[in-house]
Amino acid sequence: MADEFIPYSRQDISDADIAAVSAQLRSDFLTQGPVGGEFERVFAERHSVRHAIGVSNATAALHIGCLAMGVGPGSLVWTSPNSFVSSANCAVFCGAEIDFVDTDPATRNMSLDELTAKLETADRSGRLPDVVIPVDFSGLPCDLAEMRVLADRYGFKILEDASHATGASYKGEPTGSAHAHATVFSFHAVKIVTTGEGGMIVTQDDALAEKLRLLRSHGVTRDDALLQRVSEGGWYYEMVDLGWNYRLTDLQSALGLSQMTRMDEWREARERLADRYDVLLADGPFKRPARFNDRVSSWHLYAVELTQDARMGRAEMFAAMRAANIGVNVHYIPIHTQPFYEKLGFAREQFPNSVAYYDHAMSIPLFPAMTAAQQDRVVETMMTLAA
């Protein structure tokens, strides 16, 4: 009999989650009742941030984040090639130009040195970015304090893609509370806290929050302070900007609220598993995730890179792991190498660190309910195949 399948990630749905969603289904509100606001309030409090705005998914959050920061035709946005395609697509949605900053081989995040050098060049040529989207890959926060110094010097805004980093912190501050002008989280089913599909964008900036709230809901407002004309009655609303239907439903928010009560417990469970992988894989031909003492990862992913000493290449190893019923994955195919971006003029060799990482990378199973026995099976299979 084949061994049970071990997925690379697995959502954790408790009886309390199911009860919360059931209660919501029986309530008066499926979409825009009080629970959405409550989820936003609790999420904002947990991340020590003034405003949290729930949205239908993180891609929508990145889109309205760009728009609220003024991105449009003629704008320039930079992001990391080692991310999901949304981190770049959001700029293209707005008609802006996109470019990439290569990754740091240690953090696998946007390289601070590459960013600094690219900004110096851009400054000389007079074409600085308007928005930079650093991505907290695997849940490890980027060098955000240093990036903020650069943002203030060169006049760009930081839209942090923390889709992996719910519950992470940097220099003692929760992700989203400091440095970035706005920060995006994903609640897709494979992410840390899930609402099925869903996302949140947080900011300390009151004016930005107001724009984001308008953009996620048709650009329509009933707020007296925002109306441009005198109200015509209790039914009155105005469309003051072009917005989208990017709202999060109350059904989703009820699940999110219930999930959030286990966030800290999950982060600790993920970290324990990551620590154990570090020890168990130490003698194998694998480059493990680097550790930094100024930031706490949320451990969304545990990604190794096969070294020169491995007996097989990544493609062969991936196939052998899957054949052994272990759900490994690869994050990410560098965005600039996708056919769509190649057509925009990007070449594979332009961002060599992200490509070198991709060629050897493999994400191995990591989820809060993973048992030591499951983890041992993953490790033994990897060691037998590669060492």
Ligand X SMILES: *Cc1c(COP(=O)(O)O)cnc(C)c1O
CA distance 81 to 351: 8
Number of other CB atoms surrounding residue 16 within 10 Å: 12
Helices of type H across the chain:
15-26, 34-46, 58-68, 86-93, 112-125, 144-154, 206-215, 250-260, 263-280, 314-323, 339-343, 352-360, 372-386
- Closest CB 380 distance from ligand X, rounded Å: 29
The partner residues of 159 in beta bridges, in order of sequence, read 182
Closer by beta carbon to ligand X, 85 or else 128: 85
Closer by beta carbon to ligand X, 133 or else 324: 133
Closer by beta carbon to ligand X, 188 or else 211: 188
- Closest CB 5 distance from ligand X, rounded Å: 22
Sheet holding 302-306, edge to edge: 286-287, 302-306, 361-364
CA distance 352 to 274: 27
Minimal CA–CA distance to 82: which of 139, 141, 135?
A: 135
- Closest CB 137 distance from ligand X, rounded Å: 7
Cβ 132 vs Cβ 126: under 8 Å: no
Closer by beta carbon to ligand X, 111 or else 374: 111
Closer by beta carbon to ligand X, 136 or else 250: 136
Burial of 68 (0-12, 13-18, 19+ CB in 10 A): buried
H helix count then E strand count, the chain: 13, 15
- Closest CB 59 distance from ligand X, rounded Å: 3
| Tokens 């912190």 found at | 169
CA 28 to the chain's CA centroid: 32
Angle at 338 between CA 77 and CA 120, to 5 degrees: 30
Burial of 92 (0-12, 13-18, 19+ CB in 10 A): middle
Closer by beta carbon to ligand X, 164 or else 377: 164
CA distance 387 to 385: 6
Closer by beta carbon to ligand X, 246 or else 381: 246
Closer by beta carbon to ligand X, 59 or else 204: 59
- Closest CB 50 distance from ligand X, rounded Å: 22
Pairing verdict, β 131-133 and 157-161: parallel
CA distance 223 to 225: 5
Closer by beta carbon to ligand X, 58 or else 281: 58
Positions that interact with ligand X (CB under 6 A): 57-59, 83-84, 86-87, 135, 161, 163-164, 186, 188, 199
CA distance 379 to 45: 38
- Closest CB 26 distance from ligand X, rounded Å: 27
Closer by beta carbon to ligand X, 194 or else 258: 194
